[in-house]
C-alpha cells in the first residue's frame, strides 16, 4: 500500500473500535560513533518504517531526536525523505522533544523552552509540520513541567502509566488522555501502557491482538504504546527476532483482521485527544519509569529494594501494591555519580553565563548539545560508563566556554560549582578551565584545555554496582520461551561475573594525596586493595587564593595536621604543585603518594620522586550486550619518601 491511502484504517471504522496509538522514538546520543548511526539507519530505522508503509500499518507516531536528524541530514537523507512523504500524506504524526534529547527537568527553565522551540522549528522547516505533541525524554516528569510545556506550545505529552499508578490512579482508568495543569496552564497527558511495552516486539503478535481485544471487551477506548525504536532490530537478539524470524511481518498480519473488522483503529495521538473522552484531571508526582527509579538508587538502597520486591513476590509487585514500591528519581544520578554532577553543574553555570552575555550562537548550540541526556546516567545501557559520550559533553562545554572567555586573562572565582554546599576554586582564562576542590584535599576535578576540547580529569571511578555479583549471588529470574525475544531487562537479569571488579577508595580526580606503607605494592594500588596510613583525598582543607600577574595560586592546609598543599596555575594552563608535611612517628619506609587520574596524555615532571608507575583505569559495566570492560583513563602515581617532608610536581596537557 502506498503513501496517500488510508492504510489499515480502511476497514469498517465503528464507534466501538479501540484506538491504538503506536509511537516510535528514535535516538542516538551526541558523540556516538558514526558506525552506530549508520548501522541503525540501515538495519532498524529505515526497514521498520518502510515495511510499515508497505503493510499499510498507518498512521504511526514518530519522534526522531535532533542528533539523529543532524546525522541523517549530513550522511543519509533517505529516512528523512520518507518521513516527509508520510507526514505530508497525513500518515505520520511527528512529536516534539528537546532537540538534543535532554531530560527537560534537568535544564534551566529557559533552556527547556529553547530546546523544544528548536525542535519545533526543525520539524516545520524540514517537514512542514506544526507539531503539538511531545515525547518526554526518559519519561522524567516533575509537576512544574506542565506550565513549561504549555508555554512551549505543547498540547499533549507522553508519560508512563506508572506515573499515574504511583499517584493512586487505578489501572483500569488509564486508557484515556488526562489533563493536568500548573499555575492554570494546561497540558494533556497520555499514559503509555507498560504491558504493551513488554509485549511489543518481545512476545508473539497474537498476544498483542488478544490484549487489545480484551481491552475493547472491557469497554476501553484507547491503547497507547510509545517506546524506543531501537528495540525493533537494534537491541541484542532483536534483529533476528524482528526480521529474520519474521516477527514484524507476523505483527502486521496479525493486526490486519481486527483493524479491517473495525475492532481496532490505528490513530494518532492528536486524533485520540480529540475523540477519546478525557480521563479527567490528574496531578502526577515526581517520577520516571520503574526501572529508572531503581537504577538511580545508591547501592545499599537498591539492594534493599531488590530484597523487598523478592519478599513481596512477583504477583504482588505486578499488582496495585507494587506501584507503591519505588526507587529514587532521575536527578539522584547527580548524587550517585559525582562525574555526572560535574558535567551537569558545569553545563548549568555556563548556560547562565551564556544568557548573561547575550547568548552568542556558537556557545548556545554547544551548551544545548552538552545537554544530551545519555552521558549523565547509567542503567542497562552504558551511558555514563561510555567515555566517548562523556567526552562529547566535555568537548561541547569546552567549545562553549572558549567562546564565552575569548580574550579573557587568567583569573579565578570561588564558587560552589557542584552545588554540594562546599566552595570550589574555578580557575580560567581564554585557554583553559580548571576546578579545584579544597574540600576534597585540593583535588583537581576538571582541567579542560580549550584548543583540544579535552578535560584531562574526565575519568570514571570504579564503583560497586548492583549487578556486580557472582553467579551464586544472582537472584533467580523467569526464563523466556523460544517463541519470544529477550527484552533489554531480561538481559539485565542475565548478567554474570566470574570475579568482582575493583572498587576505588575515593571518587577519582587529579592530585589525590595519601601516605602509604613502604611495602604497598604497585599491584595493591592498581587494585585499590590497600589501606593508606593517612589520606587527604577527601580531607577538607582551609584555603586562600592569591591572584598574580600570570598565575593563580591556591594555598591549602589541613587544620588537623601539618599537611600543606599549594596548587599554582600558570597562563599556559600548566599546574605546579608543592606539598609540605610533618608527621610524627612515621613507619619506616613510609611513602607520600599522589595519584593523578587522567583521561588524555599529560606531561608530568617530578624529578625527586623515588617511585613512579601508571595503570589503566578499567570499569566493568552493564550494557545492552551484557558486561563490558571499558578503559576510562590512566592513573599516574608518583611517590616520595615520607621522611623528606616535602615534594613537588608539575603537569601539563600532552
DSSP letters for 398-412: HHHHHHHTTTPPSEE
How many residues does the structure list for the chain?
Answer: 654
Whether pLDDT at 10 is above 50? no
- pLDDT given at position 75: 97
Question: Helix, strand or coil for residue 451?
Answer: coil
Please compute the mean of the pLDDT values over residues 305-315 and round it to a whole number. 94
Q: Give the contacts of 340 (CB within 8 A, at least 6 positions apart).
A: 333, 334, 375, 376, 377, 384
Residues 436, 447: Cα–Cα separation, whole Å: 9
Q: In terms of pLDDT, which residue wins out, 104 or 4?
A: 104
More confident residue, 492 or 249: 249
As a whole number of angstroms, the distance between CA 366 and CA 399 comes to 6
In the predicted model, is pLDDT for residue 80 greater than 90? yes
Reply yes or no: is the peptide bond before residue 201 cis, omega within 30 of 0. yes
**pLDDT score for 2:** 38
Q: Is 300 helix (H, G, I), strand (E, B) or coil?
A: helix
Rg of the chain taking only CA atoms, in angstroms: 27
Secondary structure element (H or E) that encloses residue 611, with its range:
strand 611-623
Tell me how far apart the alpha carbons of residues 623 and 232 are, in angstroms, rounded to a whole number. Answer: 17
Task: Give CA–CA dist 647/652, Å, rounded.
Answer: 17
Mean pLDDT score, 338-351: 98
107: its cell numbers: 535544564
The DSSP code sequence of 483-522 is TS---HHHHHHT---SSPPP--SS---B-EEEEE-TT--H
pLDDT digits (tens, 9 = 90+) for 510-541: 999 999 999 999 999 999 999 999 999 999 99
- Tens of pLDDT, residue by residue over 179-218, are 999 999 999 999 999 999 999 999 999 999 999 999 999 9
- For residue 274, is pLDDT > 60? yes
The cell for 417 is 560549582
Position 654 pLDDT exceeds 90: no
How far apart (Å, rounded) are the C-alpha atoms in residues 393 and 372? 8
Catalytic pick among 93, 101, 114, 138:
138
Torsion angle, alpha carbons of 481, 482, 486, 492, to 10:
60
Active site residue 110: no
Q: Please write the tens of the pLDDT for every residue from 605-620.
A: 999 999 999 999 999 9
C-alpha to C-alpha distances, 376 to 30, 36, 132, 503, 603, nearest whole angstrom? 12, 20, 28, 20, 29
Confidence of residue 472 (pLDDT cuts 50, 70, 90): confident
pLDDT band for position 493 (cuts 50, 70, 90): low
Active site residue 374: no
Mean pLDDT of the chain: 94
For 228-249, the pLDDT digits (tens) are 999 999 998 999 999 999 999 9
Residue 87 has pLDDT above 90, yes or no: yes
- The mean pLDDT of 462-486, rounded to a whole number, is 75
Distance CA 502, CA 461 (A): 10
Given 3.40.630.30, 3.40.50.150, 3.20.20.140, 3.20.110.20, which CATH number is that of 18-288? 3.20.110.20
Q: Pick from 452, 462, 453, 444: which is nearest to 598 by CA?
A: 444
Residue 391 has pLDDT above 70, yes or no: yes
CB 175 within 8 A of CB 207: no
The position carrying cell 555556563 is 350
Catalytic option among 181, 207, 228, 260: 228
- pLDDT of res. 489: 57
More confident residue, 387 or 470: 387
Residue, of 13 and 57, whose pLDDT is higher: 57
Whether the pTM exceeds 0.75: the reply is yes
Report, at the CATH architecture level, how domain 471-653 is classified: Distorted Sandwich (2.70)
Q: What is the pLDDT of residue 486?
A: 66
Least confident of 232-236, 276-280, 375-379, 485-489: 485-489
For the chain, the domains span: 18-288, 471-653
Q: What does the alpha-carbon distance between residue 639 and residue 515 come to, in Å, rounded to a whole number?
A: 9
Give backbone dihedrals phi and psi of 360, rounded to 5 degrees, phi first.
Answer: -55, 135
Grid coordinates in use for 624? 545492552
DSSP per residue, 249-289? HHHHHHHHHHHHTTSEEE--HHHHHHHSPP--B----SB--
Residues above pLDDT 90, as percent of the chain: 89
What pLDDT does residue 15 have? 60
pLDDT of residue 424 exceeding 80, the answer is yes
Q: What share of the chain is helix, strand, coil (3-state, %, to 5)?
A: 40, 25, 40
Amino acid at each position: 500500500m502506498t503513501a496517500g491511502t488510508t492504510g489499515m484504517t480502511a476497514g469498517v471504522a465503528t464507534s466501538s473500535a479501540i484506538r491504538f496509538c503506536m509511537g516510535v522514538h528514535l535516538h542516538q546520543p551526541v558523540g556516538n560513533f558514526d558506525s552506530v548511526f549508520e548501522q541503525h539507519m540501515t538495519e532498524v530505522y529505515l526497514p521498520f518504517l518502510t515495511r510499515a508503509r508497505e503493510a499499510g500499518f498507518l498512521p504511526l507516531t514518530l519522534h526522531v531526536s535532533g542528533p539523529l536528524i543532524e546525522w541523517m541530514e549530513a550522511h543519509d537523507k533517505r529516512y528523512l525523505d520518507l518521513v516527509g512523504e508520510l507526514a505530508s500524506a497525513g500518515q505520520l504524526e511527528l512529536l516534539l522533544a528537546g532537540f538534543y534529547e535532554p531530560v527537560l527537568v534537568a535544564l534551566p527553565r529557559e533552556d527547556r523552552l529553547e530546546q523544544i522551540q528548536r525542535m519545533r522549528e526543525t520539524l516545520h522547516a524540514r517537514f512542514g509540520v506544526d507539531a503539538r505533541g511531545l515525547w518526554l525524554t526518559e519519561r522524567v516528569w516533575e509537576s512544574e513541567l506542565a506550565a513549561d510545556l504549555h508555554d512551549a506550545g505543547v498540547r499533549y505529552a507522553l508519560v508512563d502509566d506508572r506515573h499515574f499508578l504511583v499517584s493512586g490512579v487505578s489501572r483500569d482508568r488509564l486508557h484515556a488522555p488526562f489533563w493536568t495543569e500548573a499555575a492554570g496552564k494546561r497540558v494533556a497527558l497520555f499514559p503509555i501502557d507498560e504491558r504493551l511495552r513488554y509485549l511489543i516486539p518481545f512476545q508473539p503478535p497474537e498476544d498483542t491482538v488478544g490484549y487489545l481485544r480484551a481491552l475493547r471487551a472491557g469497554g476501553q477506548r484507547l491503547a497507547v504504546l510509545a517506546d524506543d525504536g531501537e528495540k525493533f532490530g537494534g537491541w541484542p537478539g532483536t534483529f533476528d527476532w524482528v526480521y529474520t524470524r519474521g516477527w514484524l511481518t507476523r505483527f502486521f498480519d496479525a493486526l490486519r483482521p481486527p483493524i479491517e473488522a473495525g475492532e481496532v483503529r490505528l490513530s494518532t495521538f492528536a486524533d485520540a485527544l480529540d475523540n477519546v473522552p478525557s480521563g479527567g484531571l490528574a496531578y502526577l508526582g515526581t517520577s520516571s519509569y520503574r526501572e529508572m527509579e531503581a537504577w538511580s538508587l545508591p547501592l545499599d538502597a537498591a539492594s534493599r529494594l531488590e530484597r523487598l520486591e523478592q519478599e513481596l513476590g512477583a504477583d504482588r509487585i505486578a499488582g496495585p501494591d507494587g506501584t507503591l514500591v519505588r526507587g529514587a528519581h532521575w536527578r539522584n544520578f547527580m548524587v550517585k555519580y559525582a562525574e555526572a554532577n560535574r558535567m551537569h553543574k558545569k553545563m548549568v553555570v555556563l548556560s547562565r553565563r551564556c544568557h548573561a552575555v547575550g547568548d552568542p550562537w556558537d556557545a548556545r548550540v554547544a551548551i544545548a548539545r552538552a545537554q544530551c541526556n545519555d552521558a549523565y546516567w547509567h542503567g542497562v545501557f552504558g551511558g555514563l560508563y561510555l567515555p566517548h559520550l562523556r567526552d562529547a559533553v566535555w568537548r561541547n562545554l569546552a567549545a562553549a566556554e572558549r567562546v564565552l572567555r575569548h580574550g579573557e586573562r587568567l583569573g579565578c572565582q570561588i564558587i560552589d560549582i557542584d552545588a554540594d554546599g562546599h566552595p570550589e576554586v574555578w580557575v580560567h582564562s581564554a585557554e583553559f578551565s580548571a576546578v579545584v576542590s579544597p574540600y576534597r584535599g585540593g583535588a583537581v576535578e576538571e582541567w579542560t584545555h580549550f584548543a583540544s576540547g579535552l578535560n584531562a580529569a574526565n575519568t570514571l571511578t570504579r564503583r560497586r554496582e548492583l549487578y556486580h555479583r557472582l553467579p551464586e549471588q544472582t537472584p533467580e529470574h523467569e526464563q523466556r520461551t523460544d517463541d519470544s525475544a529477550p527484552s533489554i531487562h531480561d538481559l539485565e537479569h542475565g548478567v554474570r561475573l566470574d570475579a568482582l571488579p575493583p572498587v576505588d577508595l575515593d571518587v577519582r580526580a587529579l592530585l589525590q594525596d595519601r601516605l602509604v606503607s613502604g611495602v604497598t605494592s604497585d599491584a595493591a594500588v592498581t587494585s585499590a586493595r590497600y589501606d593508606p596510613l593517612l589520606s587527604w583525598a577527601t580531607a577538607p582543607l582551609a584555603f586562600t587564593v592569591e591572584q598574580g600577574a600570570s598565575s593563580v595560586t591556591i594555598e591549602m592546609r589541613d587544620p588537623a595536621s601539618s599537611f600543606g598543599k599549594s596548587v599554582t596555575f600558570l597562563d599556559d594552563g600548566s599546574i605546579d604543585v608543592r606539598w609540605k608535611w610533618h608527621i610524627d612517628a612515621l613507619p619506616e619506609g613510609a611513602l607520600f603518594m599522589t595519584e593523578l587520574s587522567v583521561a588524555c596524555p599529560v606531561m608530568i615532571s617530578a624529578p625527586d620522586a623515588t617511585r613512579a608507575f601508571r595503570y589503566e583505569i578499567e570499569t566493568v559495566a552493564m550494557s545492552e550486550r551484557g558486561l563490558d570492560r571499558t578503559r576510562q583513563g590512566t592513573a599516574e602515581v608518583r611517590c616520595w619518601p615520607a621522611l623528606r617532608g616535602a615534594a613537588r610536581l608539575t603537569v601539563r596537557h600532552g
